[in-house]
Amino acid sequence: MKTALLIIDVQHVLCTGKYAAFEVDRVINTINTVSAKAREAGVAVVVIQHEEGETLQHGTPSWQLAHGLVVQPGDLLLRKTASDSFHKTELQALLQERGITRLVVCGLQSDFCVDTTTRRALALGYPVVLVQDGHSTLDNGVLSAAQIVAHHNLTLSNLSSFGPRVSLVPAAQVQFVAADQRPASHPRMHHTTTTTRLATATPHDISAVATLFDAYRQFYEQAPNRALAEQFIASRLQNAESVILVAEDAARNMTGFCQLYPTFCSVDAMPIYSLYDLFVVPEHRKTGAGRQLLLAAEEQARQHGKSRMDLTTAKTNLPAQALYESLGWKRDEVFYAYSKRSDHARHKGHGRG
């Protein structure tokens, strides 16, 4: 039974100040313990962030993940706007793409998003392991936070009407089976797990990135030119002119990349990224690699103080448009984009850059 770990709404505003959940520092440490075990076993870790009103407005300091929460580049980041983590999000698609059949749930708050997401998971057919000491909430004026946590542990673990059940397990006893293990009588299916690492590509990566970059240029009807591709990538990295994020499969084969060019917006008087190159090899385009790269780019922009990211795509590229819009990208309905080639570019015979 393939498992994913859901970490729900461990965000700054719910972990500090007047909205801080009961024993939140201990709960965060508990969640970190569970997530470390999940990653070690190759289990997908889905980190979910809620957005609602001014307090949890996307991109604001209060919306950010709590400082003590450990998040790794390979984790999947998901935004939601309701207490149900499945409602109008990509969660179900992500789980189905990866063949996930069981969920481990932890996070905030016990009586809202943890409760609702757990019940929805059961309704969708997922057995749930609820981390007994890995969720929390606030006093509500009737019950203390400790009472609410205890109540939900008892109530959720006794639900039977959905079919699948909730198992109540302390963090110390939560176990994950390595993702690549299969029973001897059930040969492994040909399915590739894709992870994304968030980093500036190193010289060690130049050759592999160049292979993908050459394929990317061929997609835009350029002639194959592996030497040009390697020269271009090497120059960008050596001169610190771009940031390259890569997607790798479980065997650490590079399956996709995106390239961010630092620039500025004069109107905003702020630094931005131009996300110019996004490419995933055809056989990995159903693994979620493109989505992970875009989320990794978003985190890169946030960490480095970029006010936004810009990209362009073909009008006919409807799958890409759907992906961008599902992640909150907004299509420009106000401005036209123009370009004019220089004599040098025409002389070189360059196509789309």
pLDDT tens digits, 260-318: 999 999 999 999 999 999 999 988 887 788 888 898 898 889 888 999 999 998 887 77
pLDDT of residue 352: 41
pLDDT at position 220, please?
85
Instruction: Using 70 as the pLDDT threshold, list the residues of the chain that sit under it.
Output: 179-200, 251, 344-353
pTM above 0.95, yes or no: no
Q: Which two tokens stand for residue 342?
A: 């220089």
Provide the β-strand partners of residue 169: 131
Which pLDDT score, from 0 to 100, does residue 144 have?
Answer: 97
Give the per-residue pLDDT at 126: 93
Dihedral of the alpha carbons of 219, 225, 230, 231, in degrees to the nearest 10? -120
**Contact criterion met (CB below 8 Å) for 130 and 138:** no
- 260's tokens: 């961010």
**Do the beta carbons of residue 276 and residue 231 sit within 8 Å?**
no
Res 151: pLDDT: 97
Write the pLDDT tens digit of every residue in 146-172: 999 999 999 999 999 999 999 999 999
Residue type, 113: C
- What structural domains does the chain harbor? 3-173 (3.40.50.850), 194-348 (3.40.630.30)
82/125 Cα distance (integer angstroms): 20
Give me the residue label for tokens 């997922």: 126
199, 267, 258, 262: which is closest to 233 by C-alpha?
Answer: 258
Question: Given this model, what pLDDT does residue 200 score?
Answer: 59
Q: For the sheet containing 309-310, what is the strand order?
A: 194-197, 243-249, 254-265, 270-280, 309-310
Q: CA 260, CA 306: separation in Å to the nearest integer?
A: 11
pLDDT of 120? 96
First to last CA, the chain: 45
pLDDT value at residue 195: 47
